[in-house]
Every structure is written in C-alpha cells, then in structure tokens.
Amino acid sequence: MDIDMSDMEEDEFQDAHESLPQPTSMDLDTAIMEARKAIHCFFNNDFDEARKIMEPWANSSMYHSLGTSVFAFLEAILTFEQSHIEKAAVAVRQCMTVCLKQRKHTTLTQNIGKMVKRTNYDSYTIEEVHAELCYAESLLLKSMLTFVEDETLVSFVKAGLKIRTCYLSYKECLTILNNRKWESEAHRIHFESGVRTGIGAFNLMISLMPAKIIKLLEFIGFSGDKDYGLSELEAGYKERAGLRHVLCVMILLAYNLLVTFILSHSDGDLDWCERVLEEELSLYPNGVWFLFFKGRLELTRGNFESSVDWYTKSWKSQDLWPQFHHICFWELMWAHCALQQWSQASTFANILATESNWSRTTYFYQRAATLIMQNPPSNSEEKQTIDTLMMQAPTHKQRIAGKSLPMEKFVIKKTKRYFAQKKRLVLPIFELMYVWNLFRTVGKRQDLTLNMFKVIEDAEKELARAPKTEFHADNEGLILLLKGACLRQMKHPLLAENCLRRVLELDKSIKEDTYLLPYTTVELALLAHDQGNVPLAITYLEDARKNYSGYVLESRLHFRIHSDLMTLTGKKPEDILS
C-alpha cells in the first residue's frame, strides 16, 4: 500500500490508517506506510507523534527501527550531549540487529560463488531486499555517531572503516536495483529512492574532498563524482512517491545553501532551491526545517532583513527541540553582523554562549568580537565583559577525534593576541566573517559593502596613527586583505589588486597570522577570474595550494581551492594532482 502525502490531507491519512486492521506482526507495506506518516508528522513539527508511530515496533520492524534511530540521531547531533549520543547509539545498534535478522543470509560457499558468477537477486524476498537498504542506512548513522561517541583517533579510524562498509553496502543495493525483476512498482520506487539517496550523497560528499584525501579514499575503494551524485539526488527528488524523496530534498538544499557557501566560492542553484522551498512550504507551512532553509536562501541572496524574518519564524515554530533554535540563532547573529546591528548580534551570540554545547570557545569569542565592534569606553561594563569572555573562551576548548577544532585554535590565538595588544583587536568580527566566507554574500548588497568598507578604512587610519607593535604587520595585512576583498566586491579591480599585493609584500614581517598569505593569494585568483583571466586564476590557486602549509584554517581553504580548480579546469577530482 502506498499513500502520496502530497495528494492527501493529514486527517484523510489518519482515517485511512485507522481503518486498517491492526496486525500482530508488522508487514513491509504497513511499515512503509507508517514510515511515511511519521515523516509527514516530523516535517510538520509533530516530533512526539512521529516517535509514537515508530517506537512500538522498533525492536521488530526494520522501518520503524530505522525511523527511531534517525530521530535519536538528530537529537544527539543537535544537543551534543553524551546521554543523547548514547541513546542514539543504542537505537542504531538495535536497528542493525533488526536488519541483520531480515537480510539475506549467505554461506561461505555462496559468498565465494558470488565472485565467479552473478548473484540471482530474484531469489531475495522483498523483505530481504529492503533489509539490505535499511542496513546500509543504519551503518551510515553508526559511522557518523562514531565520530562523536568518544574523542580518540581510534574512533576516527573506526568511523572510516564503517563508512567504507556502508558504501559497499549501498553499491550492493544499486546492483540489486539494476538486476532484479520487481513484482511491485511501489516496492521498487521506495527501494530506488533509498539507493539514489545513498549513492548520490556518497558521490557528492567524496567529490568535495581535497585531492590528497580523494587519492587516499580511492586507495581503499571509494570514488566520487559530483555531477553523478547530484543527478542521483535530483532523480530521487523527482520521484515524489519514494519514501526518501524528502531526504533527497534536504540533502540538495543543504548542499546548495550551506555546503557550497562554506566550501567553495560559487553559488549553489538558488533558483532550484526557491522552487523546491515553495513546494515544500505549501505542504509544511510551519515546518522548522523548510522555514530555516528559506531564511538561508534569503541570506545567500543578500536579503538579510528578510532572512531575519524567516529564521525567526523557524525558531518560533516549535519548542520540543530547543537545540534547533541554536542553529537559527547562529544564522541570526551573522545576519545582524552583515547589517552591522552589533547589539542584536551580541544578543544572539550571548544566547549561544549560555545555552549551546557545540563550541563555547567560539561563542564566547564571537560575543566579545561583536562587543568590540561597538567601541565601548575602557572603564565600561561592556569592556569588562569583553575581558572576561576573552579569558574564559580558551577554557572551553574541545577535542574531537583526538584533535582540537580548527576554529577553536584560531579563536584561542586571537584571545591571546587581545591581551598581548593591551586589550585591543583589529576588526575581529569582520575577520570571522571573511574566514566564514560571508564577504561574498554581503557583496551582493553594495550598500552594506560600502558600510563595511568605511569601517575598514577607519581602522586603517587608526592603525597608521598608533605606535607600531610586534604585531603591526599582522594587523596591517588583515586590514589590507579585508579592504581588498571589499573593493573586489565593489568592482574596483585595480584598487583591490593593489591592496592584496601589499599583503603579500608583508610576507617576511607577519609574525603570527600566516594564514593571511594563502587566503590573499586565493583572493587574487578570484579577482583574476572576475576579470576573465582563467589561466592566471588557476596559477594563483595552485600557488596557494602548493606554497603554503601549516597555517590555521588550512583545510577550510583547501576545500575551496579544490572546488574552484574543478570548476575552472573542468577536471574530475582524481585528475587534480596533489
């Protein structure tokens, strides 16, 4: 039985469900139907009802068990609390156990036989086929949870091995899809929906990795093709009857509105996002996820005032998961920073620092940075708050997979600089906006870019008047990079190039902020590309990739360089040599 939620009102669905005879065991068709209902509840913010549908059968039905695992997993990554992580791990292990019981069991002889002749997938029952897919999905959840279950390098390696097993399981599902005779079109569509989601997501994810990582992944059996990954996800999205349709929508929205803006210098497909969000918001007008993505769409277009309205709607649409509020608060903080509304930005930074467990080191510093931009008097309460935040920020440093978080390392260096420079920092929030790749979004608004440019020029004049310190070149280099980036957005290429070249001339004088040099080189590449000089842009990107190492936020820049090189050269990831 297959019910298309896009064509049925919720109360009609409820009537259809209640009219069914209540089984003593859960058959596949009923399980899929209930999974669809749970998805519908979930995206309507009725999280408790979604859980109630899934949990009673979680120890025996693969789809109910998988749904329970997904909800527990989302809660774990939103809260980052150990009790929720442990609860999610238990749910995922239970799901794997349920799926293993229902998967096709093969003997050693049969496994050896698979190597010499094609498997007859028609011999698999429909339950065994779907169990294979649900098992692959539970493996993916397990591998991602492994990253946050503990902080050792061993867990990082374990996660990598689990991801490889998961990837191979998805490839097996793709083989089943293409080599099986399907008696039920509905069963095929649901299975195909899951396969396309998994294969598409893996290819997309791997294709985004820098060349060095891709070489390693290929050595252990991974491969990634961005165009293929996107086409698979697009196909999964177009099959609206498929159970994972909405998951394809979420992945594609996240890629186009978040990933491309953090890990590249190119926009995602914003027109596609607008069309899809219009469709989804007509189905789920109060859905927290789609309201959030609508806010993100407006922000990426430079419509910061409108983005504030949509993020606020998302935040206020539900209270069951207050942790999701924090994601909205993060975005609201940056929207207000772009508008130079420092008081509002500081308010949201303070809420994050008080309530969120993700990275208090970063939150404390960001709040201090927003307060600095307000230029409080030296003896004011705000100045004392800045001092306290700068002292406390390093004490909340975390280690994930045995390593410090790059942004926290960056922030801690800046807190030390604050005290080394007699409680002064140069444009700290603009610096954060630059490394978070927000200048390109602000650049879509010439009025906001001009406002930012004026503040940078004032800081430049102030630095020129101040006595020179050991960090003078670092501060000068930062101002010149920010100024050059603004001028590029304002379409003044010669002035921008002059500023950026002056940064590189400070090479021998910069004491600590060596990241300025490769980031400036990439900015020169973007400037060359703006002017249509693709060969020069490629040369600058290669220089940034090969000639600099060991600086803070290096991986972040390498992701962007990799993406830009693929775009400009037209090469596949594996063709870009490390």
The H or E element that residue 350 is part of is helix 342-355
Residues of the chain above pLDDT 90, percent? 68
The radius of gyration of the chain from alpha carbons, rounded to an integer in Å, stands at 26
Q: Please give the angle made by the CA atoms of 224, 293 and 5, to the nearest 5 degrees.
A: 90
Burial class from Cβ neighbours inside 10 Å (0-12, 13-18, 19+) for residue 2 reads middle
Region 129-134: what's the mean pLDDT? 95
Helix (H) and strand (E) counts for the chain? 29, 2
pLDDT score for 113: 52
Region 17-32: what's the mean pLDDT? 67
User: Rounded to 5 degrees, what are φ and ψ at 94?
Assistant: -65, -40
Residues of the chain above pLDDT 70, percent? 86
Q: How far apart, in whole angstroms, are the C-alpha atoms of residue 442 and residue 222? A: 37
pLDDT score for 82: 76
The two most distant CA atoms of the chain are separated, in Å, by 83
> 319-371 pLDDT, tens per residue?
988 888 999 999 999 999 999 999 999 999 999 999 987 889 999 999 999 99
Region 441-467: what's the mean pLDDT? 96
Region 108-126: what's the mean pLDDT? 69
Q: How far apart, in whole angstroms, are the C-alpha atoms of residue 546 and residue 447? A: 37
Region 265-289: what's the mean pLDDT? 94
Q: How far apart, in whole angstroms, are the C-alpha atoms of residue 306 and residue 331? A: 12
> Which tokens sit at 15?
């009537």
Region 404-420: what's the mean pLDDT? 93
pLDDT score for 133: 95
Lowest mean pLDDT segment, chosen from 116-120, 228-232, 557-561, 567-571: 116-120
Contact in structure between 159 and 219 (CB atoms under 8 Å): no
Region 229-248: what's the mean pLDDT? 92
State the virtual CA torsion across 500, 502, 503, 506 in degrees, nearest 10: 160
